[in-house]
Amino acid sequence: MMRVAIVQSAYIPWKGFFDLIRRCDVYVIYDTAAFSKGHWHNRNRVKRPEGDSWLTIPVITADKLGQPLEEVTVAGSWADRHWCLLQEAYEDATFFSAESRSICKLYQALASERLLTKINEGFIRWLSRRLCLKTHIIRDRELKFSGDRNERLVDLCKSLNATRYLSGPSAKTYLDAAMLERAGITVEWMQYGPYPVYPQPHGDFEHNVSMLDTLFCTGPGAHRFIRPIAKQSHVEQDNIEK
């Protein structure tokens, strides 16, 4: 059995993103797909004393519909400001001191990168390693595919000899599951959570924040908080342990 997920990258994603990666043998960074303004592609949320706040990477987009995410470039500096806001938000978190040096170096290393997709990939790969995920991560450009949105997904799955395709629930509005099934690929729908809570600063607990929140608050135990409290579906029950 080979399970794959094919999802666009996001900036310092939330724990559910890594839960999805965890359940798969291969995660394909699908950044030939279109960039969406207002999406998670270039922003995410963190908890600050005054409430939840967005960290947004400023980007330059072309004046054309459907510009691929892999072509989106960064507009100006952003890394120092984001790191300062993260320090302000989490300096009192239990594991901030232990985790901050490595993450600060990561911000410094990616600060000069001009492609948004490469910044996202850098964080996703680093966080996946920190969470001890065994999932193989590749970019869609490493594989052969063509056609419309659904045909591309079929081609990508076939290129990997996938037998199962794990999709986020929002794709139910456009995914042609029957097409994948005819190709011998079983479609499985991701169900996020419920996830366990942990000591978190600044008021009531909030799940929908960056994975950095979980890491700063739980440190070496962060991998436990990307696993749901209870088994939620056949996907989880049939899970390949990561």
Distance (Å, whole) CA 112 – CA 119: 9
The pLDDT of residue 61 is 86
Rounded to 5 degrees, what are φ and ψ at 223?
A: -60, -25
Question: pLDDT per residue over 176-229, tens digit each?
Answer: 999 999 999 999 999 999 999 999 999 999 999 999 999 999 999 999 999 999
End-to-end CA distance of the chain: 15
The answer to whether the predicted template modeling score (pTM) of the entire model surpasses 0.75 is yes
Encoded tokens for 240: 């390949």
The pLDDT of residue 241 is 38
Return the number of other C-beta atoms located less than 10 Å from residue 151's C-beta: 14
The pLDDT of residue 231 is 59
Distance (Å, whole) CA 205 – CA 186: 36
Residues in the chain where the model's pLDDT stays below 50: 232-242
The pLDDT of residue 139 is 98
